[in-house]
């Protein structure tokens, strides 16, 4: 047997971590909403897609400068999510969780149609003003994609920022209180609906950023929404309500995917990358349903 190629392994590992952090960013939007409103948002991938399409369309087709296109997309996501919270989700407060899930699934379908309807179905490039020549590190010749690096860095900044927000700031504590009990929070003088809106707004901003980063990697069209499906293995592995979990879950998914693509695909002819994260997810559900960092339900006996 030939020698194990450490350079190849390291390259898969490192780029897996970077891609994983970019998954974390998408999953963060999902967790922000679940943490504070208890709603499971199946439309997070579509948020990312629509945000990406807006940037792509306004930059590539209408010739706006990139910073303006991105601000436009962020502004749109904020307004859209505030409107969404007010019109669709607020009347659902106190309804069974399945009703909210169905509403977000419907919303996902709507957005998947609305994207091409308003902006056309072609795939657009989204070019960030960075050099995309790979960065080569060390004598093992590890190739890194600069967009991966940028995406991972942005993800880390956002994740740390939100981590600080939830643990240390008063608003963050209030938000966790809202997640704990809506009724009691109300009785403590917390304007619960305002915090719901805030959670959706934060998820919208995160989605816009995700749309830019993933869009620059894959190009923007409706296929971008498929990224949203990766959210589920990430949050199930890490725990539905944990920001640390999102980081760790994202990294695990990214690395496993990359290793599968590197080592398993040549053996079986490809495709393992697409399902290995879900195999992990199912295993996790069997053995540790709250995920690695999720909060178990505390019950006093």
Partner 1 sequence: MLNLNNIEVVYDNVILVLKGCSIEVPEGRITTVLGANGAGKTTTLKAISGLLKPERGAVTRGSIDLDGERIDLFEAHDIVKKGIVQVFEGRRVFVNLSADENLIAGGHIQSSAVMKQRKELVYGYFPRIAERRHVQAGYLSGGEQQMLAIGRALMSDPKIVLLDEPSLGLAPMIIEEIFGIISKLNKEQGVTVLLVEQNAALALAIADHGYVMENGAIVMDGPASELGENADIKEFYLGISEHGEKRSYRNVKHYRRRKRWLN
Closest CB to partner 1 among residues 1, 298: 298
Nearest distance from residue 197's CB to partner 1, in Å? 14
The reply on whether position 182 binds partner 1 by CB under 8 A is: yes
Give the tokens for residue 77: 């996501």
Say which residue the tokens 């967790």 belong to.
Answer: 31
The secondary structure of residue 164, as a DSSP letter, is H
Three-class SS of residue 220?
Answer: strand
The reply on whether position 295 binds partner 1 by CB under 8 A is: yes
The reply on whether position 191 binds partner 1 by CB under 8 A is: yes
Show contacts with partner 1 in window 85-114 (CB under 8 A). Answer: 93-94
Nearest distance from residue 236's CB to partner 1, in Å? 19
In sequence order, which residues have a C-beta less than 8 Å from that of residue 26 and are 6 or more positions away? 44, 45, 48, 206, 207, 210, 214, 227, 228, 230, 231, 234
Nearest distance from residue 173's CB to partner 1, in Å? 5
The reply on whether position 181 binds partner 1 by CB under 8 A is: yes
Where do the DSSP E strands lie in the chain?
Answer: 135-137, 142-144
Given a contact cutoff of 8 angstroms between Cβ atoms, the answer to whether 7 and 143 are in contact is no
From residue 260, give the alpha-carbon distance in Å to each of 143, 156, 257, 269: 18, 24, 5, 11
Alpha carbons 218 and 216: distance in angstroms, whole number: 6
Closest CB to partner 1 among residues 154, 190: 190
The reply on whether position 300 binds partner 1 by CB under 8 A is: yes
Q: Which stretch binds partner 1 (CB under 8 A): 22-30, 50-58, 138-146, 171-179?
A: 171-179
Nearest distance from residue 147's CB to partner 1, in Å? 37
H or E element at residue 75:
helix 66-84
What is the total residue count of the chain? 301
Among 179, 235, 248, 260, binds partner 1 (CB under 8 A): 179
Give the total of residues touching partner 1 (CB under 8 A).
Answer: 24
Q: Which stretch binds partner 1 (CB under 8 A): 122-130, 151-159, 189-197, 205-213?
A: 189-197
The reply on whether position 226 binds partner 1 by CB under 8 A is: no
Nearest distance from residue 97's CB to partner 1, in Å? 16
Alpha carbons 110 and 60: distance in angstroms, whole number: 24
Nearest distance from residue 198's CB to partner 1, in Å? 14
Alpha carbons 203 and 147: distance in angstroms, whole number: 22
In sequence order, which residues have a C-beta less than 8 Å from that of residue 19 and are 6 or more positions away? 148, 152, 254, 257, 258
CA angle 52, 20, 239 (to 5 degrees): 100
Closest CB to partner 1 among residues 68, 97: 97
Nearest distance from residue 252's CB to partner 1, in Å? 24
Q: Footprint of partner 1 on this chain (CB under 8 A)?
A: 93-94, 170, 173-174, 176-177, 179-192, 295, 298, 300
């Amino acid at each position: 047997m030939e020698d194990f190629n450490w350079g190849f392994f390291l390259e898969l590992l490192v780029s897996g971590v970077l891609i994983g952090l970019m998954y974390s960013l998408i999953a963060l939007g999902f967790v922000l909403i679940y943490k504070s409103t208890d709603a499971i948002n199946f439309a997070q991938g579509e948020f990312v897609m629509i945000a990406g399409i807006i940037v792509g369309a306004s930059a590539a087709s209408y010739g706006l400068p990139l910073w303006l296109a991105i601000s436009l997309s962020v502004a749109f996501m904020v307004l859209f999510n505030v409107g969404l919270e007010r019109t669709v989700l607020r009347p659902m407060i106190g309804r069974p969780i399945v009703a909210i899930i169905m509403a977000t699934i419907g919303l996902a379908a709507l957005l998947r149609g609305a994207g091409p309807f308003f902006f056309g179905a072609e795939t657009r490039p989204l070019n960030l003003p960075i050099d995309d020549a790979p960065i080569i590190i060390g004598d093992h010749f590890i190739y890194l994609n600069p967009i991966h690096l940028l995406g991972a860095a942005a993800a880390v900044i956002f994740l740390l920022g939100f981590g600080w927000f939830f643990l240390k700031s008063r608003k963050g504590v209030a938000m966790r209180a809202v997640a704990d009990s809506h009724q009691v929070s109300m009785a403590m003088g917390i304007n619960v609906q305002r915090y719901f809106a805030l959670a959706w707004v934060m998820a919208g901003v995160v989605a816009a950023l995700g749309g830019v980063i993933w869009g620059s990697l894959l190009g923007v069209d409706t296929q971008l929404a498929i990224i949203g499906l990766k959210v589920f293995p990430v949050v199930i592995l890490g725990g539905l309500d944990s920001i640390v979990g999102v980081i760790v879950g994202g990294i695990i998914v990214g690395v496993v995917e990359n290793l599968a693509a590197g080592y398993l695909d040549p053996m079986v002819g490809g495709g393992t990358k697409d399902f290995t994260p879900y195999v992990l997810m199912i295993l996790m559900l069997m053995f540790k349903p709250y995920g690695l960092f999720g909060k178990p339900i505390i019950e006093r006996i």
